[in-house]
Every structure is written in C-alpha cells, then in structure tokens.
Chains A and B, each alone.
Chain A
C-alpha cells in the first residue's frame, strides 16, 4: 500500500513564525503536491514538484515556498505565518503522468495561526 505521511496532525503557531510542514511518501513517486482545504473553497493547489529540486507554482502560492531535496520528501514552508494561513494542509503524491495513476493523500495537518 502506498503510504503518504505528514509530520504533524495538529499544529499551533504564532503570527510571524516560520513554519515547516513535512510530507514523506514511501513508494518512489515522481510527483508530489501541497494543497490547502478551507470550508466553502474546497481544495486548492499551492505548489507541486515533478522531481527532486524542481517545483511549480499552483493556484495559490503566495506566502508559501517548498523544498524537495530528496525524492520521497516534499516540504511546505510558511516564511512568516499569518492568520489567513490557518487551514487544513494536505500532501499528495502520484507515481507519474500516466492516465491510470491515482493521487494518494496524506492524513492532513490542521494548522492554526494565532
């Protein structure tokens, strides 16, 4: 079974703090994604990565950066957390670009910025 893990289930940070959210997948997947999920807005793509050291902006990259130093690990960084970044953050991975490939999701990190 594919396993996507996220470093924390719940996180509380203060405004202005630097926040790291870690995601690890154990199936040698090429592509990894970070989404945020908010009531009424659904899931929105923040950043994704096709390969080590490669990254692409999603639909809402402002206020975020990412790092992919190893294939299995994709980190989301909030350089200076703000209250409007309080949200559920979901990481996902996919083996490659074929039409039969499913995206697999981690359990999510509920981040609260106070």
Chain B
C-alpha cells in the first residue's frame, strides 16, 4: 500500500531564504506526482506536476524534482516571500486515478 510522507511537518523561515520541502513515497510504481498549495480554510491549488518519465518541472520560483527509484521528490522555493506562507502537499498517482496525499508541510515565511 502506497504511503506518502512529508518532512518537515512545519517550517518557519525569514523572507528571502531558499528552501526545500521533501516528499517520500514507498511504492516507486507511480504515474505522476503533483505538488499543491493550500491556504487556510481553502481548497488546493496545483503548483507542479511531474510525470514518472520526468526528472523535474519548474514554474517561476518553484522547482520540483523527482527521483522515482529512491521514492523521493523535493519542492525547491527560491527567494521565499511572506505570500508563500501556506501548507504544501504532495500527492502521488498510481495506475488508477487515485491520488495518495502526504499530510503536508506548513510553511511560514516572516518578513
């Protein structure tokens, strides 16, 4: 059974820092991996999707990498801003349409 873990559970950094969020999964037979952002009390916003055949994806200050063989993905946020404060979730998709979610990393960026 696929399990997804995110470390750390919470992170507090000063504005301007580059930071890395980690996601690990137990079954490497994934279809893709998706990173989401969730603001308090809101729905999920898709940030990046990496297909199983890809190594990384970039969008603006965000870069996500995927190492399927080791069961790991990282989300790199460059030059963090207070507006980046949110919970970040990763989710993996197997050969069905189901997404298996991690429990998230709660990020706070202070001025």
> Chain A residues with Cβ under 8 A from B42's Cβ?
107-108
* Residue in A102, A105, A106 whose beta carbon sits within 8 Å of that of B49 in the complex: A102
Q: State whether A103 and B41 are in contact (beta carbons under 8 Å apart), knowing that A42-B103, A43-B101, A58-B98 are contacts in the complex.
A: no
Whether, in the assembled complex, B102 has its beta carbon less than 8 Å from a beta carbon of chain A, the answer is yes
User: Nearest-CB distance from A73 to chain B (Å)?
Assistant: 17
Q: State whether A48 and B32 are in contact (beta carbons under 8 Å apart), knowing that A90-B44, A108-B42 are contacts in the complex.
A: no
Q: Bound state CA distance, A40 and B43, in angstroms?
A: 17
> Chain B residues with Cβ under 8 A from A42's Cβ?
89, 101-104
Total count of chain A residues near the partner, CB < 8 A:
26
Whether, in the assembled complex, B70 has its beta carbon less than 8 Å from a beta carbon of chain A, the answer is no
Instruction: Report A86-113 residues with CB < 8 Å from chain B CB.
Output: 88, 90, 92, 94, 97, 99-100, 102-108, 110
Are B104 and A102 in contact, CB atoms less than 8 angstroms apart?
no
User: Nearest-CB distance from B63 to chain A (Å)?
Assistant: 17
Total count of chain B residues near the partner, CB < 8 A:
23
Q: Bound state CA distance, A105 and B46, in angstroms?
A: 8
Are A48 and B101 in contact, CB atoms less than 8 angstroms apart?
no
Whether, in the assembled complex, A31 has its beta carbon less than 8 Å from a beta carbon of chain B, the answer is yes
Q: Bound state CA distance, A41 and B103, in angstroms?
A: 7
User: Nearest-CB distance from B86 to chain A (Å)?
Assistant: 14
Q: Bound state CA distance, A47 and B49, in angstroms?
A: 23
Are A100 and B99 in contact, CB atoms less than 8 angstroms apart?
no
Are B31 and A105 in contact, CB atoms less than 8 angstroms apart?
no
Q: Bound state CA distance, A110 and B91, in angstroms?
A: 22
Instruction: Report B43-61 residues with CB < 8 Å from chain A CB.
Output: 43-46, 49, 51-53
13 new A-B contacts at CB < 8 Å, known A42-B101, A42-B102: A41-B103, A43-B101, A48-B98, A58-B98, A90-B44, A99-B51, A99-B52, A103-B46, A103-B99, A105-B45, A106-B43, A108-B41, A110-B41
Residues of A within 8 A of B (CB): 4, 31, 33, 40-43, 45, 48, 50, 58, 88, 90, 92, 94, 97, 99-100, 102-108, 110
6 nearest A-B residue pairs (beta carbon) = A105-B44, A42-B103, A107-B43, A43-B101, A105-B43, A99-B51
